[in-house]
Structure 1
């Protein structure tokens, strides 16, 4: 009897000890199909790293697909606690995140790694507090500058967009298409293959990262590399939900988050973009051109100020933010060695 009581006491003590406490379980909705490269390269490894090193403090259950989360509802899903962590592109909710769309402004050159560093540092400096105050970004996911693509080309100059229907993902991209005599279309990425296949659209502005995942190489032929604006996504929680977590769980998430993680993700996206570009270049019947430097400088001089002014009008205190962004990009590019010191 004495031994039985001792065993019961030991079991009770073990059950109440911190080591035996149940892990904080968080559902992470990626909003992408399981085999999407962004899951294989970024989302799933991040969750696995946390689960492997949390020592039982937190367990992330990854849920792919669009049953729980998609590009249109990712904020609501987090705020309603349907999922506790989600990934979403800020450009998909421009009314909610107008200042965060500064990374979509074109003609500001730089890699995804540079963009990741610039964006995260502006976030830490409070540049996006007004629209991100209720959220806890764990890390940002930058995408490189988009290029122009046509189905049935040719595409050697931006003037080749005249009369074409071009799918875009931001107001600034729409301005560029219109300036060159094209018609901008707002068609979400998962539907762009069909639009190109049926000639509902003639082309798009898109990063090369999207091509292998959505088979866009099958419905495009000609490509022009020109910095037409990037985009930024984030993996995040509701701030109140994050603050309610046990201290051990918060510490684990914090140690796998922030600007260092964001920069690491940016470098991975750059590798992904380079591999995707090489993949497209290997396809039969594809032509990839670089915009003529003189044409690019003329375009930036003639169109840039109009686009910069339009962004400044749409975003609160947009003019000052744009100046901050350009400086942050320059500083980031210099830090990672994309440009040298200015003499």
Structure 2
């Protein structure tokens, strides 16, 4: 009898006590192998900063590895609520994000920081259009200008692409390869090592950031630097999922989102690029060249209008978008160079 009375009293007390607050937990699928540099440099520090401020409002649970999220399905995984936020490269889903591929336009010189600033500015201004309307980007991650990397062949000129099979990640890169007598191959980054190792590809268009994580230094020998277009990825949620969060949770995420955060990511990527090139240089048995100015200007004069025309055929208003992109990146780089 006494035990029943005690149990009833406890139940009554519990009913009168407000429920404990539990933080909204958002599973964050990165799609990267756990030790990938981007996890250590960007994804994990960002999640830790959110969690430090999130308290009982929101917590981010990073999950690595392609079993949960892959470069090919990162959007679908968020839409299916397998994860609540994800990281992905927009160039890996060009049919869904065609206007965002303006960031891959070559021959527009600018650092990753400038690319970050330029893209975020265009996004916030609505210039990218409605292709991101269903998503809530928390921040963008820019990637530096891609370069030419060949395996077992000299890379001193675009003429060296003739007869070569080159892995490319965008229609723009494919156009440059084709225009110089090569064959572009659509091979996503995680599959490029094997393609180069087996001779299914002779080279790749890629930034140096990919080399340590994917060991591309083991399957390339010669490198040619030229501003051949950057790329943009994003960490994002569905807009509907973000809208359903509490005001407190939104405030925490907002404090770790936006163009200022995106610019900081650009700075991190620029240092990552420099360190990664240094890593490749330290391996020995690699050659590094820069495209001669005269050849660069000639190719730019001949190819840039063709690339813009091709982009405009795929994207309504594409020519105007490229012009706005060029202006945004140029202005951002001038701001960086001035120390602003």
Give, in angstroms, the shift of residue 89 of structure 1.
0.6
Aligned residue number for residue 310 of structure 1 = 310
Deviation at 1:278, TM superposition (A): 0.6
CA offset at residue 316 of structure 1? 2.1
CA distance in 2, matches of 1:260, 1:306: 34
* Correspondence for 1:70: 70
Quote the Cα distance in structure 1 between the aligned partners of 2:15 and 2:258.
Answer: 39
1:129 to partner: Cα distance: 3.2
**1:335 Cα deviation from its structure 2 partner:** 1.2
Count of residue correspondences:
337
- Residues 308 and 129 of structure 1: CA distance in aligned 2, closer, same or farther (over 3 Å): closer
Seen in structure 2, the aligned counterparts of structure 1 residues 249 and 203 have a Cα distance that, compared at 3 Å, is same
Aligned 8 A contact 1:333 1:339 in 2: no
Which residue of structure 1 aligns with residue 159 of structure 2? Answer: 159
- Map residues 250-265 of structure 1 onto 2, 5 A cutoff: 250-265=250-265
Mapped to 2, the partners of 1:101 and 1:155 lie a distance apart of 26
User: What is the alpha-carbon distance in structure 1 between the residues aligned to residue 168 and residue 11 of structure 2?
Assistant: 65
In structure 2, the partner of 1:116 is 116
Change (3 A) 1:221 1:339: farther
Match of 2:295? Answer: 295
**Whole-Å separation in 1 of the counterparts to 2:129 and 2:259:** 16
The 1:9/1:187 distance shift into structure 2, 3 A limit, reads same
- Per-residue CA deviation, residues 46-83 of structure 1 (Å, 9 max, x unaligned), is 11111111122101111100111111111111111111
Instruction: Report the CA distance shift for 1:184/1:204 in structure 2 as closer, same or farther (over 3 A).
Output: same
Q: Please show how residues 1-343 of structure 1 align to structure 2 within 5 Å.
A: 15-16=18-19, 20-337=20-337
**2:33–2:65 contact (8 Å) kept in structure 1:** yes
Q: Deviations over 1:257-311 (max 9, x none)?
A: 0000000001100000000001111112100111111111111001111011111
Provide the rounded CA distance (Å) in 1 between the counterparts of 2:317 and 2:270.
Answer: 30
Instruction: Provide the rounded CA distance (Å) in 2 between the counterparts of 1:240 and 1:124.
Output: 18
| Alpha-carbon distance in structure 2 between the residues aligned to 1:251 and 1:5 | 40
C-alpha displacement at 1:15, in angstroms? 3.8
Contact 1:134 1:239 in 2 (8 A): yes
Question: TM-score normalized by structure 1?
Answer: 0.94
CA RMSD of aligned residues (A): 2.0
